[in-house]
Amino acid sequence: MSCFCKDDTMLIQVALPVPLYRLFDYRVIGVLPKVGVRVKVPFSHQELIGIVVGHVHPNDSDVPQNKLKSLIDVIDDEPIFDEYFFKLARWLSSYYHHPFGDTMAVMLPTLIKAGVDVSDDIRRYRVPAHVDDDFVKNVLSKTAKKQHANFAIIRDNPNATKYTLHMLGVTEKNLALFAQKGLIECHTTPNTPPPQVQMAQEPLTLNDEQRSALMQISQSIHDGCYRGILLNGITGSGKTEVYLHAMEQVLAQGRQVLIMVPEIGLTPQNRTRFLARFRANVVVLHSALNDKERLLGWQACRQGQAQIIIATRSALFYPFANLGLIIVDEAHDTSFKQQDHLRYHACDVALYVGVLKQIPVVLGTATPSLEQIKLSHDNKLYECKLTKRAGNATPPTFDLVDMRVGTLWQTDMAGESRDTKLSHQTVQAVRDALERGEQVLMFLNRRGYAPILLCGACGWQADCVRCSSHLTLHKNPFKKAHHANEQYLYDYLKCHHCGYQVVTPKICPGCHSPNLVHLGQGTGQLYERLHGIFANPQTVQTPYPIVKIDRDTVRGQRAWDKLYERVSTGEPMILVGTQMLAKGHHFPNVTLVVIVNADGGFLSPDFRSPERTAQMIMQVAGRAGRAGRAGKVLIQTLNPDNPLLLDLIRQGYDKFAHDLLAERCELGLPPYSHAVLIRADGNRLDAAKNAIIGAKNHLPNAHPFAVLAPIDAPMVKKNNRFHVQMLILAKERKALHDVLSWWWQGVLALPSSRGVKMTIDIDPVGW
């Protein structure tokens, strides 16, 4: 409970953003701060901002009286963190075995941790009555078109908040400039609820399966209780329309809706869809926002001004004023698992938030993970199936293309013959689709030009000096040679793990031979080959645009917005991309999908690889034929008799996944066991290995777990650090966590752990 008290003997307990498994006690002179406020305190030789989580009598403190320090300052007059926030933080800290103070630090935007003001009063901006056109002309330069455009937005939206103006395109710099020059004024108003959401577009009629799924969500909304729902619908089955109908019910109650997406590339199309259906305040939150934008979003959620929130995983920690529904779209995606620091899974956190808030949580996907299927079998998730495509759309047809038969070769600009790694059947199918005015998606889950550069004379390979991995070739495919007989000039070699980059050598560093060759294919090389076939105006009568979509070419929200704008024109084009294209995107004019290489995923030693590969294939395939036109999927493979691949395309993902689930059960692998991965990384391999051995020896003698240790990480050396792992598998989750609760902190205190970074990963998605 929060309280004011002038009892100078009471202490405050503060959670600090440090990797220590404890709270810190401080003296207070004067009024005792309330629980939930931020305070500035001395810590070691620095000052830190922490959160008051409790009060304690000095007799109950484990700090000697003469060692107690006094707090420096109280930042907030009233608590900005409530009991819900503390419950969520305690659960995260307990389940993922992460320090409580550091857990709360992960949950907060940077500026909140820095102590900025978060008053509940809302600052609004307007143009004063005396500011007319002549006043504006005298203040702003005629050539400052951006300033004039920003000023017009403020004038046309009187009393708008800073966040609203930002979403409309007004920059922070111009806002400050206008205020300085007297063009606008800021006034503060108490926080009031936003206007009631209005329908901007009539909803579509649902089919029987969609209505049945909506009924389950609606029941939870009506009863005001938690329910976890797995919306398992094939691609194009209308899951989004079910979301929209459920959102309408929640928004009509004046409550907020949170839509989780695996990465920022999915936010533009979702925002467009929701604004087309609802006249509502839509807020987008993701990692590409700067600190001020994140703070504005945090305040909009807390004040209830944000009605529809589209976000990536960290938004689950935001303080929603009146949350009524959580939707996790593409819930199978491993991007929902945080891979560093506090290694939480957003789906699990979303379900727990649903329990705390007593609201429905919908996990939507066409390819549920085996863990999600198991939860539905155990009645911990209610499964709703959508087995047919919405409207007149039909599922795409699959064709396996046998790459052993032969591929198309072409002559490059240097006069050399190159293998395009595309079959004649594939090239003809692409040409036919383009000539019909349709779009084609070419999927290759490897960016760069080629994954390996080696010397044909001595066998030298271009390896990263910091990691145990090869360097990837990146090049400009149309960099013109200075002389006709020169080869293409590769721009650089890059490590995709640590970022190390070096100019590509022209001769072998080992034997000085000029015979450097590249192996394998990335999106850059595929783009180049396709350009030679379909887009080169010197050789092609009707060139078609080719758009490459990977992390090298599409970065940030604006890049995605431009991409969607271009693709949505519907003009015939080829999209070349990685897994960024496989995550729920809706491109209505794409009728042909080509999976350039389907074999790699089935050859991996990772036991999860068949599941992940199947998900990827079905998700990419689902981009074809979504708007009524027939869709087709070509899968290029050197092993057309692969039983896993044949089962997937003949029987569908559900049957494939259930067969995998039976195998996991027989082998005792997750989800039929519970995994913990301990990682040690140090400056020396032997130090990391000794730390893992020490951790293993610290386990109780009679533990009931299966333990594999020490084992090399998939990449032993990364960024000049050596990585060794320990895997623990347990049949019972409770027994595992009971041991972890004391064992893990003991491991961190072992002499063998000194100088080594030790991390714990609960429910890892890979090892």
Which residues make up each annotated binding site for Zn(2+)? Answer: 455, 458, 464, 467, 495, 498, 508, 511
Rounded CA-CA distance 505/520 in Å is 18
Give phi and psi for 34, each to the nearest 5. Answer: -75, 155
Amino acid (1-letter code) at residue 576: V
Structure tokens at 686: 């032997």
Structure tokens at 279: 């006249």
Q: What is the sign of the dihedral through the CA atoms of 253, 256, 260 and 265?
A: positive
> Cβ(702)–Cβ(760) under 8 Å?
no
Helices vs strands, H then E, count in the chain: 21, 35
SS (H, E, C) 496-545: CCCCCEEECCCCCCCCCCCCEEEECCCHHHHHHHHHHHHHCCCCCCCCCC
Amino acid (1-letter code) at residue 580: M
Give phi and psi for 507, each to the nearest 5. Answer: -130, 160
Which of 290, 355, 277, 281 shows the shortest CA–CA distance to 316? Answer: 355
Which of 41, 23, 33, 3 shows the shortest CA–CA distance to 104? Answer: 23
Residues in the chain: 767
Provide the 8-state DSSP code for 384: E
Rounded CA-CA distance 47/38 in Å is 13
**What order of strands is seen across the sheet that includes strand 11-15?**
69-70, 24-27, 11-15, 46-56, 38-43, 73-74
> Cβ(37)–Cβ(22) under 8 Å?
no
Provide the 8-state DSSP code for 582: S
Rounded CA-CA distance 250/18 in Å is 39
> Cβ(657)–Cβ(368) under 8 Å?
yes
Four-CA torsion 735, 738, 739, 743, nearest 10 degrees: 160
Residue 706: which residues within 8 A CB-CB, separation 6 or more? Answer: 668, 673, 728, 729, 730
Residue 717: which residues within 8 A CB-CB, separation 6 or more? Answer: 466, 467, 468, 685, 723
Longest dimension (CA), the chain: 88
Cα distances from 219 to residues 226, 239, 248, 250, 298, in angstroms, run: 10, 18, 14, 12, 30
Q: Provide the annotated binding site.
A: 455, 458, 464, 467, 495, 498, 508, 511
Give phi and psi for 241, each to the nearest 5. Answer: -65, -35
Rounded CA-CA distance 427/532 in Å is 12
